[in-house]
Amino acid sequence: MKRCRKCGLPEGVSAVFGCFDAPRWMLVGQAPGKKEVALGRPFAGAAGRRLFQWLTEAGFEEQQFRSFCYVTAMMKCFPGSGERGDLKPNRQQVANCAPWLEQELASVRPEVLIPVGQLAIERFLGKARLGELIGRRFRHSISGRAVTLIPLPHPSGASAWTNAPENRKLIRRAIRLLAEAASGR
Ligand code: SF4
């Protein structure tokens, strides 16, 4: 993935993904941002701070979580910035990166998969309103293995859905489900 140039991105832009030391869970976000590229670690910026705040509430400490959960994204490379912040991966970029995601799924074979944000949620659970999916747990078969899916909204400060007070209850419920999944319930 580090050597992949399929999207024709500027020189120096390369894939960002987490550790690969026998993970049992997998988290799939949207795409890395500048901070993630600089540190070579997914969810290392402001959105990551909020994500790990949620995970702390679910009982996970960041380092511990990263050690058993492989963290990746729908698009592994930074798609660039626009006037309104980081760009969202386009359809072609997501399609270019899809075979990598398939290989990651086949290699990790996660017990629990956390799609984060609309793009990843759509990939695993299809198109639906976030309000119908967040706070729920799903069972799917991925690469011939039963997987528990617990979707989370995008933790970015720019996400209107995540910031809306009426959605806090659903996010709390999703956090509870993550804690239950960790304890095998
Ligand atoms: S985003 Fe994915 S497909 Fe595109 S260059 Fe990076 S690794 Fe390759």
* Residue 118 in this model has a pLDDT that exceeds 80: yes
Q: Is the dihedral of CA 122, 16, 159, 49 positive or negative?
A: positive
Residue (of 5, 150, 165) closest to 69 by Cα position: 150
Residue among 1, 5, 7 to mutate when testing ligand 1 (max atoms within 8 A of CB): 7
CA of 96 to the centre of ligand 1 (A): 6
Average of per-residue pLDDT values in the chain: 94
CA of 94 to the centre of ligand 1 (A): 8
Average pLDDT in the 119-143 region?
Answer: 95
Confidence at 161, pLDDT banded by 50, 70, 90: very high
How far, in whole angstroms, is CA 40 from its chain's centroid? 15
Q: State if residue 74 touches ligand 1 by the CB under 6 angstroms criterion.
A: no
pLDDT at position 180 is: 96
Query: Which is the closest atom of ligand 1 to the Cα of 4?
Result: 8
pLDDT at position 164 is: 94
Q: Is the dihedral of CA 104, 105, 107, 110 positive or negative?
A: positive
Confidence at 11, pLDDT banded by 50, 70, 90: confident
- Which distant-in-sequence residues (6+ apart) come within 8 Å of 42 by Cβ? 16, 17, 18, 29, 32, 36, 48, 71, 72, 73
* Residue 185 in this model has a pLDDT that exceeds 80: no
Confidence at 121, pLDDT banded by 50, 70, 90: very high
Domain boundaries, the chain: 25-182
- Which distant-in-sequence residues (6+ apart) come within 8 Å of 57 by Cβ? 175
CA of 182 to the centre of ligand 1 (A): 31
Cα–Cα distance, 36 to 135 (Å, whole number): 27
Task: Name the residue with tokens 């050690």.
Answer: 67
* Residue 114 in this model has a pLDDT that exceeds 80: yes
CA of 131 to the centre of ligand 1 (A): 30
Q: Where are the beta strands (DSSP E) in 63-149?
A: 69-73, 81-82, 85-86, 112-115, 138-142, 145-149
pLDDT at position 158 is: 82
Query: Which is the closest atom of ligand 1 to the Cα of 1?
Result: 7
Whether residue 117 contacts residue 31, with contact meaning beta carbons closer than 8 Å, is answered with no
pLDDT at position 135 is: 98
Query: Which is the closest atom of ligand 1 to the Cα of 14?
Result: 6
Residue among 6, 9, 30, 91 to mutate when testing ligand 1 (max atoms within 8 A of CB): 6
Q: Say what angle helices 168-182 and 46-57 make with each other, to 10 degrees.
A: 60
Give tens-digit pLDDT for 41-100: 999 999 999 999 999 999 999 999 999 999 999 999 999 998 878 899 999 999 999 999
Whether residue 108 contacts residue 26, with contact meaning beta carbons closer than 8 Å, is answered with yes
Residue (of 135, 137, 162, 158) closest to 148 by Cα position: 137
CA of 8 to the centre of ligand 1 (A): 8
pLDDT at position 86 is: 86
Q: Which residues of 141-170 are buried (b: 16+ CB within 10 A; e: fewer)?
A: ebeeeebbbbbbbbbbeebebbeeeebeeb
CATH homologous superfamily, domain 25-182: Uracil-DNA glycosylase-like domain (3.40.470.10)
